[in-house]
Structure 1
Amino acid sequence: MPVKCCFYRSPTTETTAWSENMDTLLANQAGLDAFRTFLKSEFSEENVDFWLACEDFKKTESAEKIASKARMIYSEFIVADAPKEINIDFSTRDVISRNITEPTVRCFDEAQKLVYSLMAKDSFPRFLKSEIYRKLVNSQQVGTHKKWLPFL
């Protein structure tokens, strides 16, 4: 029986897909790891850490856990001189500070939007131009050239 063949071109590489939008990047563990590495190099990894903490926090159902997690997020990211203090405006910080006594799963939403916007408009475009991202794209492109696939 003769062997038929065709040429198969790999679909868009995973790393190239990350450039479409930041949500695609953040939803992929390898993309998130690469972005975090980049943010560490710029001394701003607290932004993605805060965003992820908020995403996890919003899934919390128990009122007791909401209060506990809210205090942890507040002390780690919001309070002045926090270990991973995020850069947010005074009014947003003030609202959170007043509401932390009776937190809800939405108490960090405004700060999370601000941090996401900062990453999307500032850090993400720089990440796409970074050596870290270029190396990842180049390493995947090496393995995605046309491949010969035999079919019987």
Structure 2
Amino acid sequence: MCKGLATLPATCLKSAKDIKHKISFLLQKPEPQAADQKLMKVNTTAAAAAAAAAKRVPTAAEVGKWKESFSHMMSSETGRMVFTSFLKSEFSEENMDFWVACEDYKKTSPSKRSTQAKQIYQQYVEADAPHEVNLDAVTREETKQNVENACPSCFGEAQKMIYTLMEKDSYRRFLNSKVMQKLCQNATAQEKKNCDCAENRQALTGGA
């Protein structure tokens, strides 16, 4: 076998080596960084959850709770998704994004707290941030100082202010919006459909 290879033209041997080199390169091609893979997985999961929440028709009881108080709606994942859609129509979804980021930050491990605090501050709090939320100068400066220590409650006052802003401003318009009217109609229609199905099953069972 070795003798046969030796008799091959030099160009053939060079081509074979080139192919071998390319195959080795492809096999050794580095995988995406673990952090990037994790981020992609988190984003995909979040997008899937958001899509599922958006497609699900809330019950009349759920919608009733959302109308009852802002806190009820904020404690519901589906409620937050619906309200975020409304905020997007008003170009103020950064308020919800900031509030959610603050909630996630509270669960962050101490080793990652400093990095995440700076990211949230740069994204939403500092002047001219990409998604700057509406905070007064005192709260903005206080938050800036808190971020240097990165304690679990460093965004406490800022988050509270944005929560109140959404409750007193956007939420009131949301209650009178076409979005809420549509929700009530869909929930009522779904409830009636469920009742009709239940009655039909009962009639069939009784007839059997």
TM-score scaled by length of structure 1:
0.85
Q: Which has the higher contact order (CA 8 A, sep 6+)?
A: 1
What do residues 1-36 of structure 1 show as CA deviations (whole Å, max 9, x unaligned)? xxxxxxxxxx84322221111222122222111100
SS in 1 for 2:133: coil
What is the rounded CA distance, in whole Å, between the counterparts of 1:121 and 1:80 in structure 2? 23
- Runs of 4+ in structure 1 displaced over 6 angstroms? none
Q: Is the Cα–Cα contact under 8 Å of residues 58 and 106 in structure 1 kept in the other structure?
A: yes
Higher helix proportion: 2
Counterpart for residue 75 of structure 2: 27
Counterpart for residue 117 of structure 2: 70
Gaps of 5+ in 2: 1-58
What is the rounded CA distance, in whole Å, between the counterparts of 2:104 and 2:67 in structure 1? 24
TM-score scaled by length of structure 2:
0.63
Counterpart for residue 89 of structure 1: 136
Q: Is the Cα–Cα contact under 8 Å of residues 73 and 79 in structure 2 kept in the other structure?
A: yes
What is the rounded CA distance, in whole Å, between the counterparts of 1:99 and 1:120 in structure 2? 25
What is the rounded CA distance, in whole Å, between the counterparts of 1:72 and 1:64 in structure 2? 14
What do residues 83-133 of structure 1 show as CA deviations (whole Å, max 9, x unaligned)? 110001100101111222221010000001100111111111111111111
Counterpart for residue 63 of structure 2: 15
Larger Cα-atom Rg: 2
Q: Is the Cα–Cα contact under 8 Å of residues 13 and 141 in structure 1 kept in the other structure?
A: no
Number of equivalences: 141
What is the rounded CA distance, in whole Å, between the counterparts of 1:143 and 1:96 in structure 2? 45
Q: What RMSD over aligned residues (CA atoms) do the two structures have, in Å?
A: 1.6
Higher strand proportion: 1
How do 1:78-117 residues align onto structure 2 when only pairs under 5 Å count?
A: 78-117=125-164
> Is 1:54 equivalent to 2:118 in the alignment?
no
